[in-house]
Structure 1
């Protein structure tokens, strides 16, 4: 933190479970952190959410996918979701849990959940590349949240 910033003015407080749940329902993007042994991989990602789980769509542009390889190797992933309006008005949530690939039937069933708050990129310029979608679910085992909601 810069020397000229008073830590008392920017310090956050813990979010309640209800605040965390509402925040994750309102958001649609975050960063999914994965690991394979001592190697880390972070993916900007859109997600669908309902209490206790998050679902993700991996856009795959060919046979090899680092996201899938890291997802399979990761024992416990971390989804980081945050919103920063000012240094005095922000929220940050970390959700932790294992990932599991969804079957085509399960993927069809969670489509509505993705529609609620996730977004999909416009891939119209992708052209003739091989494109497929793979669905994953995070069973959220633990979650933490901090926020500062102070007027400037």
Structure 2
């Protein structure tokens, strides 16, 4: 089924303002980078400038697959999602170009634009290892949301029934 056909079941597309609000109120997503075979996917926290860029902190150390792939990539994708229940979820898919920021550009970032959440492991490692800031310049985005029980939903699935 297409997204348009699923609107009868409660799915809706997010407009640009709803996408901006969603990105501004979340901090984790999955970055997809192209490789010669399967895409390289990794969870990352991000900062958002409110308009057209996401920012990522890479702990690179001596060798970083994500930095190497980002440097080679013409395009990348990033998925941010939230799924509270099977009937209440939303997601935003972003595509764009990714590249490292210069030190000067990094120093110009506001606190809101830098990633706000990182596992303690990466916080500790970033004091000892090399870190770089990458930006994803947004070329396109789309968002979907489902909030409510579909009209035809009348009984629970067998997976939800208790024994």
Q: 1:111 to 1:57 in 2, by over 3 A?
A: farther
Task: Give ranges in structure 2 of 5+ residues lacking alignment.
Answer: 1-5, 151-163
Q: Does 1:64 align with 2:63?
A: yes
* C-alpha displacement of 1:124: 8.2
Assess if the C-alpha contact under 8 Å between 1:29 and 1:118 holds in 2: no
Normalising to structure 1: TM-score of the pair?
0.83
Normalising to structure 2: TM-score of the pair?
0.77
How far apart in 1 are the matches of 2:118 and 2:87?
Answer: 31
Partner of 1:118: 116
* C-alpha displacement of 1:151: 5.7
Alignment of 1:1-152 (within 5 A): 12-49=11-48, 50-60=50-60, 62-115=61-114, 118-123=116-121, 130-150=128-148
Assess if the C-alpha contact under 8 Å between 2:32 and 2:78 holds in 1: yes
Q: Deviations over 1:28-69 (max 9, x none)?
A: 000000012334211100000121110110112x21100101
Task: Give ranges in structure 1 of 5+ residues lacking alignment.
Answer: 1-6
More strand by share: 1
Q: CA RMSD in A?
A: 2.5
How far apart in 1 are the matches of 2:19 and 2:138?
Answer: 12
* C-alpha displacement of 1:113: 2.8
Assess if the C-alpha contact under 8 Å between 1:9 and 1:88 holds in 2: no
Assess if the C-alpha contact under 8 Å between 2:28 and 2:80 holds in 1: yes
